[in-house]
């Protein structure tokens, strides 16, 4: 069942979303060669705590970090570590959640570390474009098929692989609520209604679709070892324009 949120719940989700957006603002500056993913994790933790919120991921099914930090061929769920040092030419996806008075904001962004290859630049451009194409479909009366189709179309335009096993999700009092949102057309005719809050999160690959989970039980990587990017925002469906809850401006 898809839960619609009350006005009060939406207010709290906006605060949670703003905290998540602040973490990403800080990441923009902090991501550089020589920095460890543990340092990024600590930075995110401090910002969330300073804002009297809870790091949603920490302890979720035993996950140890505040952020997921996934480098290059890692797709999602990378565990922060003081042994993972960013180097020039890497790309790193940072996924972060904050819970404020019981309500969750969830957002991911992939950052270039120093100078990255042209194909990685294109991967970041295309995956971000897919996110915003999908967000534009988050309108009352549209279906989840429309949302997944928007990601699929951009992936096809760029000839990128689509990660099939992971996708977007309802979010609110829990990080993962109904519905699941595939990043491609599945014929899911679930209709979007005002008050629904859903995280949209395309994961696209320079190579093929296939991914696998590491023995650590978390990190997911591409099978062909080519780079993957992940962009995510938490969106509120309204009678009018979609509202991005995890952006400070509400627009981008």
> In the complex, which residues of this chain contact Mg ion (CB under 5 A)?
95, 106, 108, 199, 232
CA distance 95 to 116: 20
DSSP letter at 232?
Answer: B
Of residues 54 and 108, the one with the C-beta less far from Mg ion: 108
Q: Is 58 helix (H, G, I), strand (E, B) or coil?
A: coil
Pairing of the two strands 168-170 and 220-222: unpaired
Q: How far is the CB of 174 from Mg ion (least distance, A)?
A: 11
Per DSSP, 89 falls in state: T
Helix (H, G, I), strand (E, B) or coil at 170: strand
Q: Least separation, in Å, of the C-beta of 235 and Mg ion?
A: 11
Coil, helix or strand at residue 193: coil
CB 151 within 8 A of CB 167: no
Q: Which is nearer to Mg ion, 135 or 199 (CB)?
A: 199
- When the beta carbons of 77 and 137 are compared against Mg ion, the nearer one is 77
Q: Which two tokens stand for residue 111?
A: 């950052």
**Of 94 and 154, which has the nearer Cβ to Mg ion?**
94
Task: Output helix, strand, coil percentages for the chain, rounded to the nearest 5.
Answer: 30, 25, 45
* Smallest separation (angstroms) from Mg ion to the CB of 168: 7
Query: Is residue 211 within a helix (H) or strand (E), and if so which, with residue range?
Result: strand 211-213
- Judged by beta carbon, residue 85 or residue 180, the one nearer Mg ion is 180
Least distance to Mg ion from the beta carbon of 129, Å? 19
Q: How far is the CB of 34 from Mg ion (least distance, A)?
A: 26
Q: Is 164 helix (H, G, I), strand (E, B) or coil?
A: coil
CB of 232 to Mg ion, least distance (A): 5
Residue number with CB closer to Mg ion (2 or 85): 2
């Amino acid at each position: 069942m898809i839960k619609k949120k009350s006005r009060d719940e939406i207010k709290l989700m906006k605060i949670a979303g703003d905290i998540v957006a602040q973490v990403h603002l800080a990441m923009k500056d902090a991501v550089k060669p020589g920095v460890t993913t543990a340092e990024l994790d600590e930075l995110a933790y401090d910002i969330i705590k300073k804002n009297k919120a809870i790091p949603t991921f920490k302890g979720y099914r035993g996950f140890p970090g505040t952020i997921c930090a996934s480098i290059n061929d890692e797709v999602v769920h990378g565990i922060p570590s003081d042994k993972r040092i960013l180097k020039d030419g890497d790309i790193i996806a940072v996924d972060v959640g904050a819970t404020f008075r019981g309500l969750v904001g969830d957002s991911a962004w992939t950052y270039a570390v120093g100078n990255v290859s042209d194909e990685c630049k294109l991967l970041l451009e295309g995956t971000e474009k897919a996110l915003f194409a999908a967000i534009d479909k988050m309108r009352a009366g549209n279906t989840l098929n429309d949302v997944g189709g928007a990601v699929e179309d951009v992936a096809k335009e760029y000839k990128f692989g689509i990660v099939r096993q992971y996708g977007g999700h309802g979010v609110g009092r829990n990080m993962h609520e109904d519905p699941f949102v595939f990043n491609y057309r599945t014929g899911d005719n679930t209709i979007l209604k005002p008050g629904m809050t859903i995280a949209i999160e395309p994961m696209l690959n320079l190579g093929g679709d296939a991914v696998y989970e590491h023995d650590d039980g978390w990190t997911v990587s591409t099978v062909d070892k080519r780079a993957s990017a992940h962009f995510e925002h938490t969106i509120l469906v309204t009678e009018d324009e979609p509202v991005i809850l995890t952006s400070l401006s509400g627009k981008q």
